[in-house]
């Protein structure tokens, strides 16, 4: 068999394709790779998207500022001073993009306008925080990304 330019180019293409296919197969077989959907009930969440937009708009219109801060005890969420703590009802959801087993939701139970999520529940890294609450029957929504 005579080895010329055409044969060399053909063999290099075949080698490149085998190389890429090897890494594709390797990435799909790796147990560390997580191919799950972002949420299990994505369709229901999509249906309530307009409600979320309205609740976020309610928060923007009031001018209230939630103070979400990392402290030595954990994650502190402080509601505005003008709100009565006993009238605030809702949940705080923390979503970990890298591992769905770390996601959790906790009800809002305030002590003097502050909610503390203990440090033991949070690992270092990126978290998406979502605070949904009602105050005097009106819904509000706060969403943010943070690194703990």
Assess contact for 45 and 39: CB atoms under 8 A: yes
- What Å distances lie between residue 34 and 26, 31, 87, 97, CA to CA? 13, 7, 40, 10
pLDDT of res. 36: 58
Which tens digit of pLDDT belongs to each residue from 19-50?
Answer: 999 998 988 887 666 555 566 777 787 888 88
Output the CA angle 140-141-147, nearest 5 degrees: 150
pLDDT of res. 38: 61
Q: Where are the domains of the chain?
A: 1-33, 42-147
Report strand pairing: 74-78 vs 114-118.
antiparallel
pLDDT of res. 9: 94
Question: Which stretches of the chain drop beneath a pLDDT of 50?
Answer: none
Distance between CA 102 and CA 94 in Å, rounded?
A: 8
pLDDT of res. 35: 55
Backbone angles phi, psi at 120, to 5 degrees: -65, -20
Rg (the chain; Cα; Å): 24
pLDDT of res. 32: 65
Right CATH for 42-147 from 1.10.20, 3.40.5, 2.60.40, 2.40.128: 2.60.40
């Amino acid at each position: 068999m005579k080895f010329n330019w055409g044969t060399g180019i053909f063999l290099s293409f075949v080698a490149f394709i085998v190389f890429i296919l090897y890494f594709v197969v390797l990435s799909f077989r790796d147990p560390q790779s997580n191919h799950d959907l972002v949420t299990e009930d994505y369709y229901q969440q999509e249906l309530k998207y307009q409600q979320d937009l309205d609740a976020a708009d309610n928060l923007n219109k009031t001018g209230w500022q939630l103070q979400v801060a990392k402290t030595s005890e954990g994650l502190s969420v402080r509601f505005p001073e003008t709100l009565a703590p006993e009238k605030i009802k809702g949940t705080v959801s923390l979503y970990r993009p890298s591992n769905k087993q770390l996601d959790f939701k906790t009800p809002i139970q305030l002590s003097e306008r502050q909610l503390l999520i203990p440090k033991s529940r949070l690992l270092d890294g990126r978290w998406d925080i979502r605070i949904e609450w009602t105050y005097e029957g009106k819904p509000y929504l706060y969403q943010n990304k943070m690194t703990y």
